[in-house]
A and B are shown apart, each in its own frame.
Chain A
Amino acid sequence: MDTKQTVVDILKDLTGSDVSGNLDENLFDSGMIDSMATVELLLELQERFGIDVPVSEFDRSEWDTPNKIIAKVESMK
């Protein structure tokens, strides 16, 4: 399955909105994602892609847009 589509789907489940139209939107600044949603995101990524992202690895500035998340997942797969 396509990484991009899966990430967009996960984010849709988490935030209730479709981010596919704006993949460079800052998810933290816009308040779409908070710390709790971040943890859910990490667990979802673990489940769907089998990648292990420890909490310390999560630097907000590297994960703050859908595009950056997709790139991170691609690099860790």
Chain B
Amino acid sequence: MINLQPYGNPMYFVYLLVGLLPLMIGLYFGKRFVVYQTIISAIFLLLIFGGSKWQQGLALIGYIVYQFIVVGGYAVYKRRANQTWVFVCTVILSIIPLVIVKITPAIQVGRQSLIGFLGISYLTFKSVQMVMEMRDGTIKKFDPIMFARFLLFFPTISSGPIDRYRRFQHDYIQIPDRKHYLQMLDKAVHYIFLGFLYKFILSYLFGTMMLPKIAHIAIMHREAFFHTGISLALVGYMYTYSMYLFFDFAGYSLFAVAASYLMGIETPMNFNQPFKAHNIKDFWNRWHMTLSFWFRDFIFMRLTFFIMKHRLIKNRKRIPQVAYLANFLIMGFWHGVTWYYIVYGLFHAGAIIINDYWLGFKKKHRQLPHNRLTEGIAIFITFNVVCFSFLIFSGFLNTLWFSAR
């Protein structure tokens, strides 16, 4: 059987368009062909997880059954009681499969866990938010079929963007009126072509053509600058990798959003011109937005709320600092259990804490100049701080410093 990775090549878009056409016609006439959508979704999922990836397919099925028991079980419990320890245990149970998948390669070098599959972390974000919102009472009813649709929504299953259940449910039930749907189609076409430019041209240029060459030169200079390997080529690697990372992921995200729009679901955007950010806080409101907003809403805000409500930390300035550290450390571990992902998380926590001090200083000294020049400087500094963090993230320093010579 064939295997087809999402948005992997231009042909995929032909299959996608053909497959979705009946659904699109239905939506144009104000109807969602639920049965057809279910069948076509199953086919596309089978293409991702079938063929040579059948083991992942089995892992996915097992995972879905497991999350149904955990999330559905919590929904049943929540009708009768609302104890904190049950909530905490449910969240832990919901995260455990992902934890196993992330820790396995760190313990047994190079081995991948058998229960892992492409997109497990994105499904975990979706499951955990269900539990948290049921705890808060903002999701009152557990609808197993809608939950399955939400988890298995194929345009975003492999790498997001991470949607929210209530938003998704609303779009699924409430079919956009014709004028609005046509606007969505218009945007979808635009996003697909922009995605082509990002993913198949720019990401290819930076990632496939330039990066290996620069990496090779940088490794040849690994003894440079007192054996640290700091060389012009390394700086070049930093910028090239940053460009590759952005265009690759932003390109993919545009495809995923466009495919969702065709299906009448307004999946949120993932990027908003991140390199224009004028400070780190601003950067996280523009970069991988659905992830950073998930972390903001389900980790940062909940943690600060908990700390303040129980007065665990007296000093008001320390509270967000502790929360930032926890937030970005968890984000680092989520990327993978390696020193460079964890340092990447700590680096961003440090950067955002320093940023907060600066914003506080600016608030106190309102006479500080603010003009286009200072803005330009701010964007320049932010851009370089971010690119340096991506150099850490890339893992290239690990190769440069620790791989066999």
Contact = CB atoms under 8 A, between A and B. Distances in A.
Contact of A36 (B133, B304, B363): B304
B323 A56 contact: no
Interface in B154-169: none
Contacts, number: 39
A56 B305 contact: no
Nearest to A36: B320
Nearest to B324: A36
Given A55-B297, A56-B297, A35 B304 contact: yes
A43 interface: yes
Interface residues of A, number: 15
Contact of B323 (A16, A36, A42, A58): A36
Given A55-B136, A56-B133, A35 B296 contact: yes
B191 interface: no
A30 B132 CA distance: 29
Interface range, B side: 20 to 34
A39 interface: yes
A64 interface: no
A21 interface: no
Given A16-B363, A40-B308, A43-B308, A35 B301 contact: yes
Interface string B53-71: 0000000000000000000
A35 B300 contact: yes
B138 interface: yes
A57 interface: yes
A11 B133 CA distance: 27
A74 interface: no
Interface in B129-176: 132-133, 136-138
Given A16-B363, A55-B297, A56-B297, A39 B304 contact: yes
Contacts of A56: 132-133, 136, 138, 297
Nearest to B129: A56
A31 B285 CA distance: 12
B365 interface: no
Contacts of A54: 136-138
Interface of B: 132-133, 136-138, 281, 296-297, 300-302, 304-305, 308-309, 319-320, 323, 359, 363
Given A56-B132, A57-B136, 13 more contacts: A35-B301, A36-B323, A38-B301, A39-B301, A39-B304, A39-B305, A55-B297, A55-B301, A56-B136, A56-B138, A56-B297, A58-B297, A58-B301
13 contacts: A34-B281, A35-B300, A35-B304, A36-B320, A38-B301, A39-B304, A40-B308, A43-B308, A54-B136, A54-B137, A55-B302, A56-B136, A56-B297
